[in-house]
Amino acid sequence: GIQVEQSPPDLILQEGANSTLRCNFSDSVNNLQWFHQNPWGQLINLFYIPSGTKQNGRLSATTVATERYSLLYISSSQTTDSGVYFCAGGGGADGLTFGKGTHLIIQP
Partner 1 sequence: GAVVSQHPSRVICKSGTSVKIECRSLDFQATTMFWYRQFPKQSLMLMATSNEGSKATYEQGVEKDKFLINHASLTLSTLTVTSAHPEDSSFYICSAPQTGRHEQYFGPGTRLTVT
CB of 92 to partner 1, least distance (A): 5
Nearer to partner 1, 9 or 16 (CB): 9
Tell me whether the omega of the peptide bond preceding residue 8 falls within 30 degrees of 0, making it cis.
yes
3-state secondary structure of 80: helix
CB of 30 to partner 1, least distance (A): 6
Exposed, middle or buried by CB within 10 Å (0-12, 13-18, 19+), for 79? exposed
Nearer to partner 1, 53 or 76 (CB): 53
Positions in the binding site for partner 1 (CB under 8 A): 30-31, 33, 35, 40-43, 45, 48, 50, 86, 88, 90, 92-101
